[in-house]
């Protein structure tokens, strides 16, 4: 067990595993076909305390810390249930509201997010800009006590099922980063296509359109023009919550492949008897140990409030890179069966690929690190 894991983290991890294994994994195929989870699963997760675990109890959350979010995310990967978008909702979006919202805003949205009554999304990326966030074109123009929002967003996780969306928009279009604000939009959003992806088929990823959407100015999070700063402040946690499934996925891939290599025979012996198989798995198993040690150190640092943007960028790029390397090497050892979607290693392989792209691409992570050298 990782050093940062206390008994309460362990208990939550067990509860979460049972939920993902019983309520989610058996539905994965169907959710993949319909391209989203059933709405009801959000209520079930909320009832069990698996949403907003690290939000204060005063606002309906579990009153826990990042370790609780990590324990849930880790359990989700182990149970092979990738579709549920609870991590972005709980570990990322709820924290924007908790950190920058007023007491009234927190009371309005957080308890319902914790119960699953509200599903949330965060909309930064636009068709024309992803990495270069200060170049967003969506505008929020003040008219009396309302903002009028115009623009379009794409690749939005939970976008199809979402009830509220934290939108990054320019309240001062003449400015770059200094013009960005975060506004919570509750209605009036037009949904475009629920996008068909290479992997993570059951997790909805949607286009959103804003056509003169009127939002009360009281839905602004924090101060006007501070949105970019808020996004930067929350990035270490956002990137770390991506690194958590990376390591769980490496460990799961190695575990599944060792099992398979013992059972599968070729040339009259188990494929584990071939030196190449043992060497491949020896290397992957070593990578799993190194990855786990690195991640646990980062989690402990973050829980102590000491993980900075550079440290989180290192964790995000390196661990997601290793995730893809291990997924590919393990899949190879499954032979043709590894390419069949009924084998979990195939899903691990396809689901891993996006990890190097979202949450800031791995190239952007290296830019962040490189700038400080
Ligand atoms: C499944 C999925 C879920 C997502 N969920 C969300 C979400 O919930 N909310 C949200 O707002 N966004 C979301 N995204 C968007 C995601 O964060 C962006 O796709 C990502 O940040 C990259 O932006 P882009 O696609 O515009 O690529 P671009 O910025 O166009 O990048 C293209 C290529 O150029 C490289 N590049 C760009 N700038 C530099 C540079 N300065 N130096 C070196 N290389 C560079 C990139 O690394 C990349 O390889 C999601 C995306 C996917 C696919």
The arithmetic mean of pLDDT across residues 284-303, rounded, is 97
Q: Of 118, 138, 166, at which residue does a domain stop?
A: 118
CB atoms within 10 A of CB 129: 14
> Do 241 and 193 share a structural domain?
no
Burial class from Cβ neighbours inside 10 Å (0-12, 13-18, 19+) for residue 109 reads: buried
pLDDT in tens, 133-173: 999 999 999 999 999 999 999 999 999 999 999 999 999 99
Q: How many domains does the chain have?
A: 3
In a domain, 46, yes or no: yes
- Residue 322's H or E segment, with its range, is helix 309-333
Distance 139 CA to ligand 1 centre (A): 20
- Asked if 23 is an active-site residue, the reply is no
In a domain, 70, yes or no: yes
Q: Does residue 367 line the site of ligand 1, with CB under 6 A?
A: yes
Report pTM.
Answer: 0.97
> Do 164 and 137 share a structural domain?
yes
Q: Kindly provide the residue ranges of all beta strands, DSSP E only, lying in the chain, ordered along the sequence.
A: 120-123, 139-143, 146-157, 164-170, 180-185, 190-194, 205-216, 220-221, 265-266, 269-270
Distance 168 CA to ligand 1 centre (A): 15
Q: Of 203, 224, 245, at which residue does a domain stop?
A: 224
> Do 269 and 169 share a structural domain?
no
Distance 266 CA to ligand 1 centre (A): 43
> Do 233 and 201 share a structural domain?
no
CATH number of the CATH domain containing 201:
2.40.110.10
> Do 286 and 187 share a structural domain?
no
> 369 pLDDT exceeds 90?
yes
Q: Does residue 148 line the site of ligand 1, with CB under 6 A?
A: no
C-alpha angle with apex 346: 319 to 291, nearest 5 degrees?
A: 15
Q: Residue 2's pLDDT is what?
A: 78
> Do 88 and 148 share a structural domain?
no
Confidence of residue 109 (pLDDT cuts 50, 70, 90): very high
> Do 241 and 164 share a structural domain?
no
User: Which atom of ligand 1 is closest in space to residue 125's alpha carbon?
Assistant: 11
Rounded Cα–Cα distance for residues 257 and 240 (Å):
26
User: Which atom of ligand 1 is closest in space to residue 367's alpha carbon?
Assistant: 42
User: Of 238, 280, 283, 306, which one is the catalytic site residue?
Assistant: 238
pLDDT in tens, 183-217: 999 999 999 999 999 999 999 999 999 999 999 99
Rounded Cα–Cα distance for residues 343 and 237 (Å):
32
Q: Of 224, 243, 268, at which residue does a domain stop?
A: 224
pLDDT in tens, 206-251: 999 999 999 999 999 999 999 999 999 998 899 999 999 999 999 9
> Do 239 and 106 share a structural domain?
no
> 178 pLDDT exceeds 80?
yes
Percent of the chain past pLDDT 70, that is, above it, reads 100
In a domain, 2, yes or no: no
Range of the domain at 196: 121-224
Q: Does residue 220 line the site of ligand 1, with CB under 6 A?
A: no
In a domain, 280, yes or no: yes
> Do 283 and 323 share a structural domain?
yes
The dihedral region occupied by 189, where left means phi > 0, alpha psi between -120 and 50, and beta the remainder, is: beta
> Do 249 and 181 share a structural domain?
no
Q: Does residue 354 line the site of ligand 1, with CB under 6 A?
A: yes
> Do 89 and 75 share a structural domain?
yes
CATH number of the CATH domain containing 258:
1.20.140.10
In a domain, 1, yes or no: no
Q: Residue 158's pLDDT is what?
A: 97
Residue nearest to atom 52 of ligand 1 (CA): 155
> Do 288 and 192 share a structural domain?
no
CATH number of the CATH domain containing 23:
1.10.540.10
């Amino acid at each position: 067990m990782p050093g940062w894991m206390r008994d309460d983290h362990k208990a939550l991890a067990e509860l979460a595993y049972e939920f993902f294994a019983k309520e989610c994994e058996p539905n994965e195929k169907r959710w993949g076909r319909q391209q989203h989870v059933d709405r009801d699963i959000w209520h079930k997760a909320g009832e069990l305390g698996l949403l907003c675990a690290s939000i204060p109890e005063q606002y309906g959350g579990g009153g826990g810390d990042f370790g609780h979010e990590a324990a849930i995310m880790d359990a989700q990967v182990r149970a092979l249930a990738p579709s549920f978008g609870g991590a972005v909702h709980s570990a990322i979006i709820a924290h924007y509201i908790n950190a920058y919202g007023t007491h009234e805003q927190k009371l309005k949205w957080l308890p319902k997010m914790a119960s699953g009554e509200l599903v949330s999304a965060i909309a930064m990326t636009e068709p024309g800009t992803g990495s270069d966030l200060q170049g967003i074109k969506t505008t929020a123009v003040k008219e009396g006590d309302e903002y009028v929002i115009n623009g379009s967003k794409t690749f939005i996780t939970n976008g199809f099922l979402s009830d509220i969306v934290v939108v990054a928009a320019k309240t001062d279009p003449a400015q770059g980063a200094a013009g960005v604000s975060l506004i919570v939009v509750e209605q009036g959003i037009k949904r475009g296509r629920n996008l068909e992806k290479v992997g993570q088929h059951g997790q909805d990823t949607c286009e959103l359109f804003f056509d003169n959407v009127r939002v009360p100015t009281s839905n602004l999070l924090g101060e006007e023009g501070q949105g970019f700063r808020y996004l930067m402040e929350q990035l270490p946690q956002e990137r770390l919550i991506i690194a958590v499934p990376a390591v769980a996925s490496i460990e799961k891939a190695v575990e599944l492949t060792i099992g398979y290599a013992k059972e599968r025979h070729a040339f009259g012996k188990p494929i584990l008897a071939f030196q190449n198989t043992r060497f491949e798995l020896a290397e992957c198993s070593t990578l799993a140990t190194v990855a786990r040690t690195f991640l646990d150190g980062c989690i402990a640092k973050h829980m102590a409030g000491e993980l900075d943007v550079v440290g989180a960028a290192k964790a995000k790029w390196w661990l997601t890179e290793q995730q893809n390397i291990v997924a590919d090497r393990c899949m190879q050892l499954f032979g043709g069966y590894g390419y069949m979607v009924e084998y979990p290693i195939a899903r691990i392989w396809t689901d891993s690929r996006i990890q190097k792209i979202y949450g800031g691409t791995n190239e952007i992570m290296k830019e962040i690190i490189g700038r400080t050298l």
